[in-house]
Amino acid sequence: ILNVEQSPQSLHVQEGDSTNFTCSFPSSNFYALHWYRWETAKSPEALFVMTLNGDEKKKGRISATLNTKEGYSYLYIKGSQPEDSATYLCARNTGNQFYFGTGTSLTVIP
Amino acid sequence: KAGVTQTPRYLIKTRGQQVTLSCSPISGHRSVSWYQQTPGQGLQFLFEYFSETQRNKGNFPGRFSGRQFSNSRSEMNVSTLELGDSALYLCASSVDTEAFFGQGTRLTVV
């Protein structure tokens, strides 16, 4: 079973606040962990692909860390802006088959 | 480079009918996967095609089927539609470990 779980399910933060959410996954047979940003009426957009334990990736105000031994990844957003409002999905893949979590819905209040 | 294109974007069908959705992957991508998202659920994997062959299949009834053509375009068919089939259907084309999504087809069964 390759269940991917994300928490919290939804989050409301004030503009300027920093926030983070969690993705947990089975640590066995790990291949890669993906984070996507999904805005309403648009395609999910790839943020990060992470493969190595201890990996840390950053794109602007967004960063992610990976712990493959304990099976979790954190996504951090520093100084949240209204345009960060979206659903953030994580997924692990085995080959071309991706297993997605249910996502964290982030709303940034101006 | 064109992205993943899904048609139609919206569709309304009646229970018992059948429906065919289309996905054109990014040029050069040979793998196409299909996902279903219903309210409160994550993206559920339907199936994956690679070079016209179904390589992986999720846990969906036989009413859900697909195929892939020699130009890598893929179609998904759902027969004998049920109300519970109302969902957003996303396709993704992938290369190596990166998946790129279309905007989805919103199917409503009435």
A60-87 burial, b at 16+ Cβ within 10 Å, e below that, comes to eebbbbbebeebbbbbebeebeeebbbb
More confident site: B94 or A36: A36
Chain A interface includes B35 (CB < 8 A): yes
Cα separation, B99 vs B1, in Å, equals 15
Q: Which residues contact B109 (CB under 8 A, 6 or more apart)?
A: B12, B13, B14, B15, B81, B82, B83, B84, B85, B86
- Looking at residues A35-48, what average pLDDT do you find? 92
| pLDDT (tens digit per residue) in A9-33 | 999 999 999 999 999 998 887 889 9
Q: Taking CB atoms and an 8 Å limit, are B94 and A97 in contact across chains? A: no
Residues of chain A contacting B42 with CB distance shorter than 8 Å: 4, 89, 100-103
| pLDDT (tens digit per residue) in B16-60 | 999 999 999 999 888 999 999 987 777 888 999 999 999 888 899
Chain B interface includes A60 (CB < 8 A): no
Token pair belonging to B2: 């064109």
Q: Taking CB atoms and an 8 Å limit, are A41 and B103 in contact across chains? A: yes
Indicate the SS3 state at residue A61: coil
| pLDDT (tens digit per residue) in A48-88 | 999 999 999 999 999 999 999 999 999 999 999 999 999 99
Cα separation, B65 vs B79, in Å, equals 8
More confident site: B26 or A40: B26
Mean pLDDT across chain A: 92
